[in-house]
Structure 1
Amino acid sequence: MRSLNLHLKILITLLVGLGILITAYQIFILGIPLTEDETDDLWNIDARVEFQASPREPVKLQMFVPPLNQDYVSLNESFISNNYGVSINRANGNRKVTWSARRASGKQTLYYRLVLTKRYSGEQAKSEGPIFRDSIPVEGAEKIAAEALLAPIRQHSADVETFISETIKRVNNANDDNVKLLLGGDASTAKKADAIELLLSIAHVPMERVHTIRLATEIQQNPELWLRSFNGEKWLYFNPDTGQQGMPNDRLIWWIGDESLVSLEGGKQANVSFTLSNSEMNAIRLAKLTDENTDADFLEYSMYSLPLSTQKTFQIMMVIPIGVLVILILRNLGGLQTLGTFTPVLIALAFRETQLGFGIMLFTIITALGLSLRSYLEHLKLQMLPRLSVVLTFVVVLIATISLFSHKLGLERGLSVALFPMVILTMTIERLSITWEERGGGHAFKVAIGTLVAATLAHLLMSVPQLTYFVFTFPAVLMILVGFMLAMGRYRGYRLTELFRFKAFLKD
């Protein structure tokens, strides 16, 4: 007996633990929304390119576009132009679009449009990058100034991260004569980045320029320069002006390297302006779009990968265990008497179509008339199978009659009574009549009321949209329910109704 108890406890622990782990993985790792109404940000980015085309010359304009191998995923990308050919090339971790035309004249306007959202999958590709670089050649006064700056930097740093932070801090000290010499009177961000790169190269620390766009609306957008270096495990990002470490969450990497955003042949005065807008979309719908537009498997192995018609069927099926759990609690803990365990759940499913009040009324009418017929057939001394056949036929005729009169009276809801399982109604009538014969009409009435109460409570719980969504989206919670049901299976204590029945014994 002890080994059986231990086996049951281990099984319950495994089921509950596995259910919690799978559900937690879907919520925290895959990022599946907890509620159906949850929304996620959707960003629309427009890059407008304007330039003057030179007459009688072919035009070739190249512009960097986001590599999209980061924390964002593209839902739509379009290149809008008039009479231009478009091609996209990849090189050194960047993507570059090329617009080309044989002839163009006057002012030209091209558009690049991107719709993106946060990447759902938490799985990121393993970072790779250089951990050593050659020094940039430097002579004369610049070399002396660089060595003078590097001495305290080496002294005040312990690793690559602190070395870069200290370097940026030193270069941003405008009162240092060595810094003034390296900057040459130009304190722009680009010039500071050159000085930082020079100092880091002497120490053989690799560095890359990263150009970003801030995901924000109603501000003038220009690519913002950041620096990054690989420490052997991950990329470290730094702001060359402030020394801030760590790329903010609202930055989108547009391109990496020293090149300009746009290069133009056959024209002049190329200018790029950015416009951003933000909207919200239902999170689960956005997840489906993510799966469709990328190779991500966010919903690949979930119920959402099924055909839509099948999904609707499973949305009903997945809440049946919830109804069964309600009946289990009412019977094992509450002591409520019903016609078995599954009959109330099936009746509760029928209430989804007829609605609760109308369904209870129809169930009561059909069951009462069926019991009357069953009582009459009992006097004819028929065997069980012919008797059930007659009752089933009577139920079909009664359902058809109610549907017909409901339609004539304009009560279209009455037509849904046909969705009541006829066999279930027939067996309900048969079992109620047997209960009546064996234990009296009072007990049969009590069981019928208990069945209706249980079916009503199960229906109310199974009809909660948030619960239906949660169980359908996170089916592993059913493993937790099974664990609870197994625990309930060993309950041998009093039912709630028995406390009232044996109240007299407690007084004695």
Structure 2
Amino acid sequence: MSPRAQVYILAVILTLMGAGLTIYKNRELGFPLLPGEYRTVWTIEAKVRFTADGGPVKASLTLPRAQRNMEVLGETFSSSGFGFNIVSDDDEYRAVWSRRSASGNQSLFYQLDVHQTPGAPLEQPLDLSTEVEQPFLGAREQEAVRQAIYSLVEGARDRSADTRTFTTQLLTALNDPRNQDRNLIFGYFKDRTLVDVALTVLAAAEIPAHRIRGLYLEDDRRRLDPEDLLEVYDGRRWVVFEPNTGNPGVPRNFFIWQRGGKSLLDVEGGRNSRVTFSVISNDVPARDVAMLSTSNEKEALVDFSIYSLPIEQQSIFKLILLVPVGALVVVLLRVFVGLRTSGTFMPVLLAIAFIETRLFTGLSIFVLILVLGLWVRFYLSRLNLLLVARIAAVVVTVVILMGAISVVSYKLGIEQALTVTFFPMIILAWTIERMSIVWEEDGPYEVVVQAGGSLLVAVLAWWVMTNRFVEHWTFNFPELLLVLLGIILIVGNYTGYRLGELMRFRQLVR
């Protein structure tokens, strides 16, 4: 296989790897492709209130399960003076607050941040009991209620084809105030909710069902009581129904807090217990949400990456990751345009310095140091020094010039010039040495051409590297560097004419 074919194959492999990892991080991990994207994070606070009797107290609150369409990013507990722990009880997690003695009004808090995952399935398979307990209606005087229940069951069964459509027809009848059977049942169960009555009727029809407690995520809602949904077993899976409409499926803005199980709140040693909820929304940068979710799941692609480094090192790598972009700009301009520069990748280092110093300030400082350094270098050449000593002397001179510029600019109140320290002094020294040699061998015209080419390439690299999209992609998707590497390998095989050569030989073309 020829070297050219190997280069193309390697470039394709690198490009596919980089693009694939980028798509995976965007689709599966939620990293945003564009800067400035935000996600809505809902903060839900559960407040437990009760009156302690003066002795030992224990309160337990059911905690929400993991859900595919809702992702818990973080949770906090507040329990002043109470001991706290989380216990697992029958495949259900409960927060337990305890205290040896307490009296009077007590308040306990549980808070969690939730992000709604778009496109995720809503229904969750659960291993819940499908046993049905027949409702107990009491003595013979409740025979009319019993007949009304079975009348509703038979009517819904006649108008349905399966368990799903049966449940929809039953809920429609229970929400119809003109239905006499419905009115008789609700007249008997005066203190029960719609879901309580629906569970009783479904039990009479021998259909497994249970309630779902949760909240509708709407901004700035306070002191909410949990809402109820109905979940029915159709013989293969559990199906959720909205009780007021009879529509199957979980509403998209509904956060499930408890499915089946025991009571939502239990309090021992207290009375008048109640739990209320408050909901508020916050717009959070999409990258922060992705980082929180992947850190909770210990995603290997993120856990073993730059994101695992301390913040100080991350800020350094944020600048370092821009270097390959500048290198690509240099390669394109030198291979396809034919610009001559002083050193191969010296313009990239200048572009990095321009990022820190701002463009016009950096250009002015660079030109000033270059001119003064060349003047000193020409003087040193008359002393017939050895190469190493001469370059060392130029380095010392550059440091003195940088210090002098900083002091003078500070005294004059020009704060931007203080950023002169961001210029790499060794590179400046080598540039001055190289320019002086070019001046001696090829004349001042070639010095102007190479210096101008270097500054032009540095400015273009700075313009690309400071683009907000490029900064976002290189830091959040460093896998794209593989794509850059593939492009550079392909460009490296170019053997055609450069744009400068076409301009030079345009008379021959005519």
The letter for the 1-side match of 2:360 is G
Distance 1:387 1:66, change over 3 A: same
Distance 1:172 1:9, change over 3 A: farther
- Confirm or deny: 8 A CA contact 1:237 1:245 kept in the other structure: yes
Match status 1:214 vs 2:216? yes
Match status 1:496 vs 2:488? no
- Confirm or deny: 8 A CA contact 1:93 1:256 kept in the other structure: no
Q: Which whole-Å deviations, capped at 9, do the CAs of 1:195-241 have from their partners, x for residues lacking one?
A: 45326635xxx433211111213456221112335679975322133
Give, in whole Å, the separation in 2 of the partners of 1:104 and 1:498: 90
Q: How does 1:347-426 map to 2 (within 5 A)?
A: 347-379=350-382, 383-426=386-429
Please state whether the residue corresponding to 1:493 is helix, strand or coil.
coil
Give 1:174 deviation, angstroms: 6.4
Q: How does 1:478-489 map to 2 (within 5 A)?
A: 478-489=481-492
Residue equivalent to 1:64: 62
Residue equivalent to 2:19: 20
Give 1:137 deviation, angstroms: 4.3
Distance 1:447 1:467, change over 3 A: same
Residue equivalent to 1:117: 114
Please state whether the residue corresponding to 2:206 is helix, strand or coil.
helix
Residue equivalent to 2:141: none
Structure 1: state its 5+ residue gaps: none
Match status 1:152 vs 2:152? no
Give, in whole Å, the separation in 1 of the partners of 2:313 and 2:474: 16
TM-score, normalised via structure 1 length: 0.82
Aligned residues: 496
Please state whether the residue corresponding to 1:401 is helix, strand or coil.
helix
- Confirm or deny: 8 A CA contact 1:60 1:264 kept in the other structure: yes
- Confirm or deny: 8 A CA contact 1:79 1:86 kept in the other structure: no
Please state whether the residue corresponding to 2:224 is helix, strand or coil.
coil
Please state whether the residue corresponding to 1:398 is helix, strand or coil.
helix
Give 1:101 deviation, angstroms: 4.9
Give, in whole Å, the separation in 2 of the partners of 1:390 and 1:52: 83
Which of 424, 427, 439 is the matching residue for 2:430?
Answer: 427
Give, in whole Å, the separation in 2 of the partners of 1:87 and 1:384: 73
Give 1:62 deviation, angstroms: 3.7
Which of 93, 96, 116 is the matching residue for 1:95?
Answer: 93
Distance 1:14 1:156, change over 3 A: same
Structure 2: state its 5+ residue gaps: 137-145
- Confirm or deny: 8 A CA contact 2:71 2:293 kept in the other structure: no
Which of 450, 454, 457 is the matching residue for 2:453?
Answer: 450
The letter for the 1-side match of 2:87 is N
Q: Which whole-Å deviations, capped at 9, do the CAs of 1:22-53 have from their partners, x for residues lacking one?
A: 11111121112345544333333333344445
Distance 1:302 1:199, change over 3 A: farther
Give, in whole Å, the separation in 2 of the partners of 1:210 and 1:504: 83
Please state whether the residue corresponding to 2:303 is helix, strand or coil.
coil
- Confirm or deny: 8 A CA contact 1:367 1:425 kept in the other structure: yes
The letter for the 1-side match of 2:88 is R
Q: How does 1:307-386 map to 2 (within 5 A)?
A: 307-379=310-382, 383-386=386-389
After superposing the two structures, state which structure 1 stretch, 441-450 or 402-411, moved more: 402-411
Give 1:166 deviation, angstroms: 5.6
Give, in whole Å, the separation in 1 of the partners of 2:303 and 2:335: 39
TM-score, normalised via structure 2 length: 0.82
Distance 1:138 1:253, change over 3 A: closer
After superposing the two structures, state which structure 1 stretch, 360-369 or 490-499, moved more: 490-499
Residue equivalent to 1:461: 464
- Confirm or deny: 8 A CA contact 1:63 1:263 kept in the other structure: yes
Residue equivalent to 2:251: 248
Give, in whole Å, the separation in 1 of the partners of 2:72 and 2:362: 48
Q: Which whole-Å deviations, capped at 9, do the CAs of 1:343-384 have from their partners, x for residues lacking one?
A: 111122222333322222222222223333444444555554
Give, in whole Å, the separation in 1 of the partners of 2:439 and 2:327: 25
Give, in whole Å, the separation in 1 of the partners of 2:338 and 2:489: 18
Match status 1:190 vs 2:195? yes
Distance 1:200 1:490, change over 3 A: farther
- Confirm or deny: 8 A CA contact 2:60 2:266 kept in the other structure: yes
Which of 130, 133, 152 is the matching residue for 1:133?
Answer: 130
The letter for the 1-side match of 2:95 is V
Q: How does 1:31-50 map to 2 (within 5 A)?
A: 31-34=30-33, 37-50=36-49
Residue equivalent to 2:139: none
After superposing the two structures, state which structure 1 stretch, 14-23 or 332-341, moved more: 332-341
Please state whether the residue corresponding to 2:343 is helix, strand or coil.
coil
- Confirm or deny: 8 A CA contact 1:85 1:100 kept in the other structure: yes
- Confirm or deny: 8 A CA contact 1:350 1:420 kept in the other structure: yes
Please state whether the residue corresponding to 2:493 is helix, strand or coil.
coil
